[in-house]
Amino acid sequence: MKKVLLAVAALALIAGGYFLASSHTTPAQAAEKSMPKLHGIAFISGEGGHIAMVNLATMKSPTDVEKDRIVITEAGSEMEGKIAGMTMEQAKKGGGMHGAALVGGKLYAGLLDGNVVVYDLKTGKKSAPIKVGQKFCDAVVGPDGKHIYFEDMANGHVYEWDYKTMKTVDEFPIGAAVCGIQWVNNGRKAYVSDMPTGIIYVLDWKTKKVIKKITDPQMTFIHQIHLTPNGRQLWVSAPNEYDPGLKPPTHKSQIVVIDTRTDKVIDHIVLPPHRYSHDLAFSPDGKWVLIPARTYQKDSRLMIMNEKTHAIVEDISVCESCHKPNGIEVKMAEGHPNLCGITVAWGMKHKPVTE
């Protein structure tokens, strides 16, 4: 009987060993499983006046100046002309952009000269500039889907704009140079980011009154903001290029996470060196974060982050990959091609036609 038991135990060990060996996942297989499988076209706005396009299914860097970008306007910098009510040195009177909203197959781009340009993805046609504000940062579709909200860096106002009538229906002041807006609680509460002050304003959306200010030592110069798909967290792009008062920076580039139930900061996600995030977008399932980031060198990048682990799993060139082979030299902003806002057409399989 004892021999039988020993034989059975041996067989069990052999079988167990076989199971462990056959179920073992190699590092390469583990990496493959951790990679995102995304489907859509990312539209990334930049100060160069065009929108770079990346197919998320392939994650190939843009290389074709005709097929991989949409030209909207001339180049222009955010730190020129009026910002937060101050007059900065100005090389050009307009141009450049920071964000675009996607509605019904059309991109509504807010420009750094306060104009709005509409680009039809089906026809490749764009409208003439429509004057709305002074210097726009982001363009966000409102909670009811009927209006687009533009945030102004020159005067700190938010513009509510009807995209059907192409007219402004409301305008109200919030901060010094606002950059992003998001809503929670079925549109009853809103968050607005104020770039130079590092403040997130919390609004009662019905009255448009500020009910709270969220501050943090690690938010000195912030940009656009986004909610997680479940609405429980607000992620703030905090590249911190300046300390308060536009002084030289002493804080790391990061994403600051706010709990929308308590309106308190709960996490700081420090980004890799030379990665200064100005916006972000979540995949529909909330598992992946797309982060366009400036390097303040010869490139801007698109990173993909695992939302749970905060690991960067993709990091591709978006500017130099196209500029270098085509002999394009960036002459503004000390030679830095600066990207900003990202808008994603989820499910779109092919890049749209360009004019």
Q: Which amino acid is at 31?
A: A
**Structural domain contains residue 16:** no
Report the distance separating Cα 140 and Cα 160, nearest Å.
10
What pLDDT is recorded for position 64?
92
DSSP symbol at 279: -
What pLDDT is recorded for position 245?
85
Residues 319-335: what's their mean pLDDT?
80
Closest CA to 274 of 249, 300, 304, 250: 300
At 168 the three-state DSSP class reads: strand
Share of the chain above pLDDT 90, in %: 76
**Structural domain contains residue 205:** yes
* CB 51, CB 351: distance < 8 Å: no
Which secondary structure element, helix H or strand E, spans residue 194, and what is its range? strand 189-194
Token code pair at residue 81? 């002309």
**Structural domain contains residue 311:** no
For the stretch 14-45, pLDDT in tens is 344 433 333 454 544 444 456 789 999 999 99
Range of the domain at 156: 38-227+316-346
**Structural domain contains residue 272:** no
Token code pair at residue 166? 């192409």
**Structural domain contains residue 1:** no
On the 0-12 / 13-18 / 19+ scale of CB atoms within 10 A, 22 is: exposed
Residues 245-269: what's their mean pLDDT?
96
Cβ neighbours, 10 Å, residue 56? 23
Domain count, the chain: 1
**Average pLDDT over all residues of the chain:** 88
What pLDDT is recorded for position 334?
74
CA distances (Å), origin 197, targets 30, 213, 219, 238: 43, 11, 8, 11
Is residue 9's pLDDT more than 50? Answer: no
Length of the chain: 355
Single pTM value for the model = 0.87
DSSP letters, 135-156, are -EEEEEE-TTSSEEEEEETTT-
Through-space distance between the first and last CA atoms of the chain, rounded to whole angstroms: 84
Q: If pLDDT is split at 50, 70 and 90, which confidence band does 336 have? A: confident
Read off the CATH number of the domain in which 326 is found: 2.130.10.10
What pLDDT is recorded for position 21?
38
Token code pair at residue 148? 């687009």
For the stretch 87-143, pLDDT in tens is 545 445 567 999 999 999 999 999 999 999 999 999 999 999 999 999 999 999 999
Nearest-Å Rg of the Cα atoms of the chain is 23
**Structural domain contains residue 353:** no
What pLDDT is recorded for position 77?
66
**Structural domain contains residue 112:** yes
**Structural domain contains residue 6:** no
